[in-house]
Structure 1
Amino acid sequence: MTTAGQVAAFAGVIALAAASPGPDFAVVVRRSVVAGRRHGVVAGLGVATGVFVWSVAAAMGVAAVLRASAVAFTVVRLVGAAYLLWLGVSALLAARRGGGATGIPTEGGTRARLGVSFRDGVLCNILNPKCGVFFMAVLPQFVPMDGHPTDVLLLSSVAVAVTVAWFTVVATLVAALRRALARPRVRRALDALTGAVLVSLGLRLAATG
């Protein structure tokens, strides 16, 4: 059975991984700026959903199969890269126009679709096979050889909780600065920066095996 110490250590590893700048972080920041705190939090929930799927998949051996199959890994990797490129190009086009990105709401509240934010978070995470490889490498260090499925469920839940907590903080901080970030020049610069980061990450994901 997984001990409290192992759970705490695992939570620390997940916290470090979540805090590392990457596609998930960029998506949550952008959703927070474009549509407000609630959308940033929902995007974080989407990322956490992907984290849960990957952690369970790693425990079930699905991630191992994906890693062993060069074709499957490549397909998922390229689809994920294409999605990041789409998000990045959309942001760059928004910067050029000085408005919202294609398919992304520019207003908070009820008129903006929370589903878009959740979708972006889920797809950004779940289409990155390296997340599966990460959990495949990390989980065995915390789940005993004779571990029960409840151990996996516990650690997966911890991963989700840590991810949600982190991105809630990120969304809250970014939303607090939203008024300043919403200024036309700042907004265009942020769109350009976010777009460049997402395009760069997409190209990197496509180029690396």
Structure 2
Amino acid sequence: MGVDWPAFLLVVGVMFVVPGPDFALVLRHAGYGGAVRWAVGGGIVSGLCVHATAAALGISALLAASAEAFTVVKVLGAAYLVYLGVAALLAARRSGAAPTVAELAPCGRASAYRRGLLCNVLNPKAVLTFTSLLPQFMPDGRHPLAQTALMSGVVVGVGLAYWTVVLVAIGALARVLSRARVRRVIDRVAGGSLIVLGVHLLGTPL
């Protein structure tokens, strides 16, 4: 029996549509210019590639099976989300227009990419997604490594498509989102959301 691809794609799609730390981070960078926004998205997708590779090689399963290692990832992930949230709230207190791409580049793009990458890689929920979701759809009698690699690649592909749509949609609203007053509101909302998600992650048994 093969993979139930329609059901698998539906579950994966719902997983991406439900807002989480990655979406809050993208929202926080919504008014910083196209290059910076796409750098954040690229970092998030790169993080998915890291998780997909780890799942295909069995590293994610080993990490999830080790309570100590998983706790370390959880604490680091929660601390990083709180850090990003506090940084956003501090940015909201500053006055003036939103920084331009020229003011942020090249360090702005590199920093944005690292934020997206670390936000995704240090999210233990992403680890559990690959270690708990994929086995549910794994067909019997197939090579586990090849099948895991294929399904992980599909997850990355769906993620790439989803974030492309999100970033294009945000780009269409760039003129509004780049206004100083709107940016301050976004920073407050995204910053508060990241802090809440970080605290929730730290206090949730995984």
Shift of 1:98: 2.8
Q: Which residue of structure 1 aligns with residue 197 of structure 2?
A: 201
2:171 is equivalent to residue 175 of structure 1 = yes
Report if aligned partners of 2:52, 2:156 keep a CA contact under 8 Å in 1. Answer: no
Aligned counterparts of 1:184 and 1:43: Cα–Cα separation in 2: 20
The 10-residue stretch of structure 1 (11-20 or 143-152) with the greater mean CA deviation from structure 2: 143-152
**Among 113, 121, 139, the residue aligned to 1:118:** 113
The 10-residue stretch of structure 1 (107-116 or 27-36) with the greater mean CA deviation from structure 2: 107-116
Shift of 1:59: 4.2
**Among 76, 81, 88, the residue aligned to 2:73:** 76
Shift of 1:204: 0.9
Report if aligned partners of 1:95, 1:188 keep a CA contact under 8 Å in 2. Answer: yes
Aligned counterparts of 1:62 and 1:99: Cα–Cα separation in 2: 46
One-letter amino acid of the structure 1 residue matched with residue 15 of structure 2 = A
How many residues are matched? 202
Deviations 1:46-103 (A, max 9, x none): 2222223223433443333222322111111111111111111110000011369xxx
| Structure 1 residues 147 and 51, CA gap change in structure 2 (3 angstroms) | farther
Report if aligned partners of 2:36, 2:112 keep a CA contact under 8 Å in 1. Answer: yes
One-letter amino acid of the structure 1 residue matched with residue 24 of structure 2 = A
Report if aligned partners of 1:28, 1:167 keep a CA contact under 8 Å in 2. Answer: no
- TM-score, normalised on structure 1? 0.85
| Structure 1 residues 185 and 54, CA gap change in structure 2 (3 angstroms) | same
Aligned counterparts of 1:96 and 1:126: Cα–Cα separation in 2: 29
Superposed, which structure 2 residues align to 1:121-200 within 5 Å? 121-148=116-143, 149-200=145-196
Q: Give RMSD over aligned pairs.
A: 2.3
Gap regions ≥5 residues in structure 2: none
Aligned counterparts of 1:44 and 1:181: Cα–Cα separation in 2: 17
SS in 2 for 1:34: coil
| Structure 1 residues 168 and 71, CA gap change in structure 2 (3 angstroms) | same
Shift of 1:2: 4.5
**Among 52, 56, 62, the residue aligned to 1:65:** 62
Deviations 1:112-133 (A, max 9, x none): 4432222111111110112111
Gap regions ≥5 residues in structure 1: none
- TM-score, normalised on structure 2? 0.87
SS in 1 for 2:100: coil
Report if aligned partners of 2:27, 2:186 keep a CA contact under 8 Å in 1. Answer: no
2:28 is equivalent to residue 30 of structure 1 = yes
